Chain A
């Protein structure tokens, strides 16, 4: 590599030479366009974030009914909006490690039943007030209150007592939980002044951006908060979210340069978008998974042989290939994959096996009547097609499936968690404990497979209180095997998060915790 070229790249990164000049001169020095772009990108990284500019994103998942109240946030746009103006006590980093945020440090008693968070000093709210442990306490109290209708209510239920003294916020749990800090990283738990009790939807927090425009379902505008405490975030001077729910409109907005980032690129058009100059596809394998769920307490699914027969009768490779177009990973009939901490990768991968499927089907003694599988477009993208693939692969094993297509409206209230066999999806959770507690514990509200297993419940509680990581990993491995071999979950695939950005967007990092860099894309990235 010539010194001249390197120097040029550095100057381009610092905006001393414009990008087009750089590419032209690189070409004159005999470097291909791709090589020059890569060189420029690494020089840009070395030069560090560029401050200023107006960063725009076109996002799916916003409605006119959205509110700025963090408790009510439930879709993608409010999620990204929260990341702009608010912050949580701790965060889960792209490497799955906990990072202190508004809590400077945290620790627990040796039994993991009492946790203390030391609140960071000198952090200011957008209304000029200084952050105190009292604000944290009031915020957590509001989310624990049934009337707040908070999306985080479920994770606040195990808390016995909360206290604030000096700069320390203390939580005492009913049963020990080694993962409590992960729960405090839930995106709803944005700290608001006075807990946001006076005006929950005021949009005031400690985040890097101040809310300037709030038109739910249309657009949200932000300006950098001048007194923000952390220099490594909030690079653009202003940011703007346009709500673009239509997939084609979103893609064309990116292509025509009206936005710099979009979320939810459809797998079927990724290969086309990759060919568009100046557009970068950003995909990362996450914890979200597409599933078919059987109620373990309802005939014929009460019979584990029938459940195993159906698990062997699904072709996972084909699903990843045709439904996800390769943008995803194989599922193994448990809700956990390598994106989770403490995952045991020695659990054997279950594959399509018509012989075993036939064996278990026969052993189950099912009368041969068609098994009704309910599906809908809203269950997950491609759910109707996936059900048909399942029907065909099962038919090849002599298992008749009857597909019933349900309307999208009311699917989540009338079909999911009500009918014994249907298609669905899970977004995943930051830890194994949270995923299993949400949907696989006997008493869980959302136990959508009606899976009740005493040994599993015991292991879950034991693992939760265990601070020794090796031992926890072993316990989780056993739980995973139990769900895989006895549960009502047929998990064919884990889907990637697929976003796309303009080539000028820099600072992107792969974050398996959620789409748009777990919602942080607009506060962590910058425009070069």
Chain B
């Protein structure tokens, strides 16, 4: 007999994999619906019928779609994403580099914004409805309301052009040391932090406040514990599930949704890579990017679910 929590976890992860499988089918089907096929996009408008037929046979485009889908999925699972139509580069290699950059930026932004959001959330609960709470709310709501490119341009103007503290071009390369890289991405990290902070901070505040109504918190207060200790030790662990959900949603956004920031700061991430290839109708690259974005999104949400399950004492300690 399996422990019920293990069963739940296995179920949840299996569901995630099934979802990813369904997403891959949708991505493949979606790109098939586009007018013209891969052979046509390779050869362009001046393609002759013979050349088209040859290339279709060579690429296996005459096979039934279902078979092509499984061929594609099977190679993708082995790390073979094919070659780009536009410049013949190996997709896995060029995409890997871009994905690494995107994850680096997302990780740095998360390392700053997640602890900051939690601390600010706790502080605003501690000083609920007093000036620190109001100040934190006002500033973070203002920063989420301003379009991210505007914040970016303002920071570039003052911090990069006027003060020259950090570069406005966040281009990183393998030859740079970690310190140089961190300095290069300081501005995009700052903007991304401002963008995602409010959402996580507000959820932390609301979730903890919800728990603060419970009887056991009153007990803790009557015991004479310091308020900050009550929040951190007793309230936060029981409010963790909704907070983790929101954090994961924001992490997913940091990976898949930052194309505007990439353009403004000239950061070599996945977003610009995808947009360039969509413009050239480079279907294999678009499929590969779609698959990776779907995997990141589903993966992070599964992690959130797993954490919520583990954080629930009723599931951890069944009767």
Contact = CB atoms under 8 A, between A and B. Distances in A.
B229 interface: no
A120 B273 CA distance: 41
A389 interface: no
B282 A249 contact: no
Contact of A248 (B88, B153, B167, B268): B153
A246 B84 contact: no
B126 interface: no
Interface string A224-243: 00000000000000000011
A258 B156 contact: no
Contact of A258 (B46, B51, B167): B167
B53 to A, nearest CB: 15
Contacts of B279: 63, 65, 409
A72 B87 contact: yes
Contact of B160 (A58, A72, A245, A252): A252
B276 A64 contact: yes
B33 to A, nearest CB: 16
A245 B273 CA distance: 13
B164 interface: yes
A217 B272 CA distance: 9
A65 B277 contact: yes
A213 B171 CA distance: 14
A156 interface: no
Nearest to A217: B276
Contact of A249 (B169, B173, B280): B169
Contacts of A252: 156-157, 160-161, 168
A72 B280 CA distance: 13
Contacts of A147: 51
B264 A256 contact: no
A388 interface: no
Interface string B162-188: 001001110101000000000000000
Interface string B127-170: 00000000000000000000000000100110011001001110
Contact of B171 (A65, A146, A218, A257): A218
A372 interface: no
Contacts of B86: 65, 67
Given A65-B86, A256-B168, A249 B263 contact: yes
Contact of B164 (A217, A256, A409): A256
Given A58-B169, A249-B169, A63 B280 contact: yes
Contacts of A69: 87
Contacts of B161: 252, 255-256
Contact of B87 (A65, A242, A243, A256): A65
A243 B88 CA distance: 20
Contact of B167 (A72, A217, A243, A256): A256
Interface string B83-98: 0101111000010011
B268 A218 contact: yes
The CB with the most chain B CB atoms within 10 A, among A65, A149, A213, is that of A65
A465 B268 CA distance: 50
A501 to B, nearest CB: 16
B265 A249 contact: yes
Given A252-B156, A255-B161, A64 B272 contact: yes
A195 to B, nearest CB: 18
B271 to A, nearest CB: 11
A259 B171 CA distance: 12
Contacts of A257: 164
A149 B44 contact: yes
B123 interface: no
A249 B46 contact: no
A219 interface: yes
A215 interface: yes
A71 to B, nearest CB: 12
B266 interface: yes
Given A65-B280, A67-B86, A252-B168, A217 B160 contact: no
15 contacts: A58-B266, A64-B98, A65-B87, A65-B276, A65-B280, A201-B87, A216-B89, A242-B169, A242-B266, A243-B266, A244-B169, A246-B266, A248-B156, A252-B161, A252-B168
Q: Can you list the 4 inter-chain pairs with the closest CB atoms, starting with the nearest? A: A65-B86, A67-B87, A64-B276, A218-B268
Given A218-B268, A248-B264, 4 more contacts: A64-B277, A245-B263, A246-B263, A248-B153
